[in-house]
Structures are given as C-alpha cells and as structure tokens.
Chains A and B, each alone.
Chain A
Amino acid sequence: MSTAAIDTRTEDRPARAQSPLGETIFRTLCFSAATLLMAALAGVVVSLIIGGWPAFQKFGFGFITSTAWNPVTEDYGAAGPIVGTIVTSILALIIALPLALGVSVFLVEFCPKRIARPIAIAVELLAGIPSIVYGMWGLFVLAPWFATHIQLPIMMDFDSHSLIGRIFSGVPNGANIFTASLILAIMILPYMAAVFRELLLTVPSQVREAAYGLGSTAFEVVAKVMLPYVSKGTVGVIMLGLGRALGETMAVTFIIGNSHGFPHSLFDSGSTIASTIANEFAEATSDMHTSALIALGLVLFVLTFAVLAVARALLAGNKN
C-alpha cells in the first residue's frame, strides 16, 4: 500500500464525516420528520372538527342522543351507530378476554417450550389477516352457519314474546350484532393475547417459584400470584382490545346488517360508526350528510383516544 493512498483518505474522510453543515441538515431533517408526524395527527383532529362543525352546530347535543338518521329530511342523530359501536365492542371484549387469558397463560405456563413458539406465531398470524378477509369469511361462512345452527333453533324453541325470545329475535340471516361481535372478538384476540403474554413474562420467576415451592397448584399460582401481580396491566390489555374493536371497519360493515336506529336485540341488525361512514361517505350527496358522517368520525376519534390514553397509562404503570 502506498503512502499517497493513505494520505488522500485521511484528507478526504474528515471533510465528509465532520461537515458541520451536513450535521445540521441531517438533524433538521430528522426533526422535521418527527414534527410532520405530529402535524399529521393534529391535521386529522382539526379536519374532523372543521368537517363535522356544521352538523354539531345544527343538531347540538341532540346529535349524540337522537336516533334519527334520515338523508332525505336532512335529520341526523348518531345514537344508533354510537350504541352499536359500544355494544359490539364490549360484547367482543367479553368473548375475547377469557380466550386471550387462556391462550397467554397456556403459552407461558403449561405449553412445552418447543411448541410454544410455533403456536405464538400462529396466533400472531391471526392478527395479520386483513380486515376485509375477516369480513368475507364472516358473511359467507360464519353467518349462514350461525343462522341455520344457532339462530333458527333458538327461534324455534322460544316464544318470540318471552324474555329469551325477545333477546334473540331478529331476521335469521346471521348478519347481526352478535355475529359482528364474534368476528371482532377473533380479530382482537391475538393483540390482547400478545400483550398479555408479555405482561405475564414480567412476573419475576422467584415469585412464581416461591408460590410453587409452597405447594400451590398451577391454577393457584396463576390466579393468586401472577394475575394480581399484573392486575393493572390487565386493565390496560382490556382497554387496548376495546380501542381496536371500536375502530374496526370492514369486517363489521360486511356482517352487521347495516340498519340505522337502535338495535333491539342481540340478533338484530345494526350499524357502527365506522360501518356507517364506510357505507355512506362516498355516496353522500348533501353537505349536511357529509358533515354528519365526519362528525360521527370525530365521536369515534374521541372514544378511541380516551380508551387508548387510559390503556397506555395503566400499561406503563405496570412496567415500573
């Protein structure tokens, strides 16, 4: 190697590696990108407020409490979709929570290490399936099966005027609040199971082993030692699942039946905020219709934001 070659390198390098201007430009670029992110979120909020303002102005608080949704008379009230959103999300949570608990406890405590990883990956794959695929599956596979094997038998067995008959009344086509919640439950299950599994892994092994050492059964270790240890985080997991369920659009649009107004029973068709926007926005003709849909979007944003903020605070509390 000649000395000349080394010389050019040492003269050349610092110029590129230490250029103060280059440093400033790069740093500013990174900072701008981070700021752009904040601006994007701010833009979402501001555009929802501006777009929904006419509807809020016209209907006031009644927008949230009224069940009217009539594009012909330009009378809009969001109570139907809001209730539909909350009911389907909570039902989905009730179905998914025990499953998520079971899956994560099974993977952390009972499953042989060698097959725990493949099972965890398979459950995560469930989270990767696009929403629209869930929708198609729900509409063409789950709904018909549900109608013939669950809904019809129940309707045959119970008088439609009895209490149970009323809870389960509805058109027997399988597209209703309950099947929508079922699909939602399958969709949020992998997220909840993944976070919950991470939480369980934070329980110090000394604590677990001490409990086993005292002669506890696996059930007692999980129920009396591990779950109390992660209790705060568990609420965080629940809120995280809820946040996902609230905003889910396509799968629900396929299977909820899309009728406005208040759902009257578990097997009644209904709508959610997201499904209403997805169905009507591109075809909304009047300005007030568009504005009402954007106002619905703002309601959804406030709901998911509140739930997410609580979830984050609780999950952060458990990590410390």
Chain B
Amino acid sequence: MKGSMRRIGALVKLSLLELWRRNDMFALLVLSLVLLVPLSLARPFGASGATRYFDEVALLLVWCYSLFIALGIGGRLFTSEFANRTVYPLLAKPVSRGELLVGKYLGAVVASWSALAFFYILWVASSLLRGGECLTVCLFQAFILHALFAALAVAAAVAGSFLLTPSASTTLLAILFPAMFFFGRHLPDYAENVSGVLRGLVNAFYWIAPHAEFFDMRQRLVHGWGGVEAGVFLAVVGYGVVYSAVLLFLAHFLFKRKRL
C-alpha cells in the first residue's frame, strides 16, 4: 500500500511539474490580463459601478481555461508517453497498468485543480479589491463543482485518447463539452420538436452525454444568490464522481487491450 501510494505520488508530481513548466499557463495568464484589465477599466456610457459583467466574463474565461487545460493534460497523458516511448521504461518498473492509469490521472487532475485554484484565487482577489463579498458558501460549492468538472473532463480526455486519435478525441471533446454546457439543458425541447429515430437519438444523447452545465454555478456566484441545497450539490458531486469513474474504467479496459 505504501509503495503504491509512493508510485502514485511520483506520477502526480510529474504531471504538476509538466503543467507548471509548460508555457501554457503563463500564456493563459497573460491572455487573461490582456482581456480583463481593460475590461475592468471599462465604463460603458461613462457609467461606473458595474461589476457583475466583469465577474461573468472572468469566470467564463476560467471555465474556458479549465476545459482547455483539462483536455490538454488529459489528451497528452498517455499519447505523449507512447510518442516519446517513455511508457516502456515506465511499465518495465514494478507498476501495474491500473496504478499507472490512476497515478497519471490523479496527477493530471491535481495539476488542473492547481491551475483552477490559481485562477479562482486571482478572481477572488480582484473581487475583494472591488469591494465584493465573494467568500461565501456559494463560492466554495462553485469551486468544488468546477473542480469535479475538470476531473470529469480529464477522464474523458484520457478515455478518448485510447479510443480515437489524440487530435480527434480532443477536438470532439472540445466541441461536446461547450455544446453541453450551453445547450445540454435544452435537449428535451429539441427532442420534442423532432420525431422517429432522431428523437430517440436526441433523448439517448440527453441521458448519456456528460452534462457539463450541472457544474456551472457562475450565475449564482455573479448575481449573489446563495449556494444550492445540499441534496442538489451532493447529487451533482455523485454524478461527477460516477461519470469520471465510468470513463476511467473504460480507459483502463482500453489501456489493457492496447498493443504496446
């Protein structure tokens, strides 16, 4: 058990080092500053005092970044190991494929959480500087759900990278998640407007596809509503955990079958 934890710990550290040594994070930070600093100074029609638009845009950017980072890390997690041939010395060590998958997955999740925490801290700091009262239960819930979404996106990217080519998988997920984020809740309405096989497909998609929008509490955060009821919160947490676990099992199954 101790050895297993040590192995997983090493894999987590590797992902963290990789994320923070790549330039992606700093490119995102610079991009954020370029977008948000002028935005924070904007005075539409010369009126001052508006802050919610800034919070909304900043949080939307954090969502975009988290998806970008999660898909990037998750998609690269094993494909780079294969491309660089480092998977061979790794698997020649006393580590099972299951441990390798869990370790690398946890590493990617912790890495994406660290990036997420970094951006949330920046947002909270900017909000406090503007006199906002953002340190609430709602913020805590929003962060937890957002982090769970990142974990789910990483799991999807890992499973996708075994199922399809890395670029195809990342592209597909980069379309699927935002589509679900914005339109997922409207799928039953679309289903009502079509008939036959298409209706069945839309309904099936509604039940099976990952509902990214469940994890989005931006509205509540921006408009100062309180947190969600504990039951709803736990339901979404459960959904995220179960969905990620299913994707990881799929990834493990595909990894075991993968020809090395």
Are A and B bound to each other?
Answer: no
